[in-house]
């Protein structure tokens, strides 16, 4: 039996859907909620197969977006971190009329490095997939450590992410493999080049998974979108810099 975890908090008059990254769950947003809930109806979601959204096997990106859209409000801001950025982008492609604005955080429309495009080497992602079946827990922990590397609060941030994982049900190897496969193969660069909704991209200057050069390249490829790079942040800017991060969200949504 499948069950999607979806919790709504807050007193605002606008809807904001928060989508987490690979291996994690909605608890990762805990450090931002007190700054968001006074202004938004915040929708906390465990992606299908992750955390409390149990019973799902490996899904394609469109299948995952379909499941979320069936539970989502009629129109909302969709914010996706890392892998969640790909999911939010897929929602915007499938039903743009239901997306008031698209916000991606430490995300890329193409995570895999190819040619002149910076990103994660495909062999690194394939290596993680192979290691999952050999040492599940250690592989997840290694990936989480990469997400905070470089920030001044790296150890503290890594502990928080690890706690988020350990305090909720763990995804299956099949679900985690499916997520890594999305990171390795999905390319939304051309598909999202001419969005029909406002688009904001937030990056960490020290991010080792989504290089800051991605921000510059997309400024050229996606001129209708805007970008912000947080100087001392790595791959989880909402964890290391929650006040600055939420200020950026408020500025973006207030101007709509």
**Sheet hosting strand 40-45, strand order edge to edge:** 6-9, 40-45, 14-19, 76-81, 99-105, 199-204, 226-230
Catalytic residue at 235?
yes
Q: Which entry of 39, 235, 240, 241 is annotated as an active-site residue?
A: 235
Residue 203 pairs in a beta bridge with 229
Signed CA dihedral, 186, 26, 200, 128: sign only: negative
Q: Which entry of 82, 107, 151, 240 is annotated as an active-site residue?
A: 82
d(CA 161, CA 106): 15
First to last CA, the chain: 40
Catalytic residue at 153?
no
Catalytic residue at 207?
yes
List CB contacts of 247: < 8 A, sequence separation 6 or more: none
List CB contacts of 110: < 8 A, sequence separation 6 or more: 117, 119, 186, 187, 188, 189
**Contact (CB, 8 A) for 81 and 238:** yes
Residue whose C-alpha is closest to residue 8's, from 29, 23, 191: 29
Q: Which entry of 15, 46, 157, 207 is annotated as an active-site residue?
A: 207
| Active centre residues (catalytic) | 82, 207, 235
């Amino acid at each position: 039996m499948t069950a999607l975890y979806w919790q709504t908090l807050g007193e605002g008059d606008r809807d904001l859907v928060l989508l987490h990254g690979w291996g994690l769950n909605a608890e990762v947003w805990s450090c931002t909620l007190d700054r968001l809930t006074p202004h938004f109806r915040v929708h906390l979601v465990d992606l299908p197969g992750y955390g409390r959204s149990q019973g799902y096997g490996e899904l394609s990106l469109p299948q995952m977006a379909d499941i979320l859209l069936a539970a989502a409000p009629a129109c909302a801001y969709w914010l996706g971190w890392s892998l969640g950025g790909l999911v939010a982008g897929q929602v915007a492609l499938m039903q743009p009329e239901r997306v008031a604005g698209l916000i991606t955080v430490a995300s890329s429309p193409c995570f895999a490095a190819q040619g002149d495009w910076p990103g994660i080497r495909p062999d690194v992602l394939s290596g993680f997939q192979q290691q999952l079946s050999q040492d599940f827990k250690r592989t997840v922990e290694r990936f989480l450590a990469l997400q905070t590397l470089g920030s001044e609060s790296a150890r503290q941030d890594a502990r928080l992410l690890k706690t988020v994982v350990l305090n909720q049900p763990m995804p299956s190897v099949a679900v985690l493999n499916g997520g890594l496969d999305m990171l390795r193969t999905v390319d939304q660069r051309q598909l999202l080049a001419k969005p029909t909704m406002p688009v904001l991209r937030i990056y960490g200057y020290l991010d080792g998974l989504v290089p800051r050069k991605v921000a510059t390249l997309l400024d050229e490829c996606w001129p209708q979108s805007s970008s912000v790079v947080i100087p001392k942040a790595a791959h989880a800017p909402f964890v290391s810099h929650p006040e600055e991060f939420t200020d950026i969200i408020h500025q973006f949504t207030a101007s709509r």
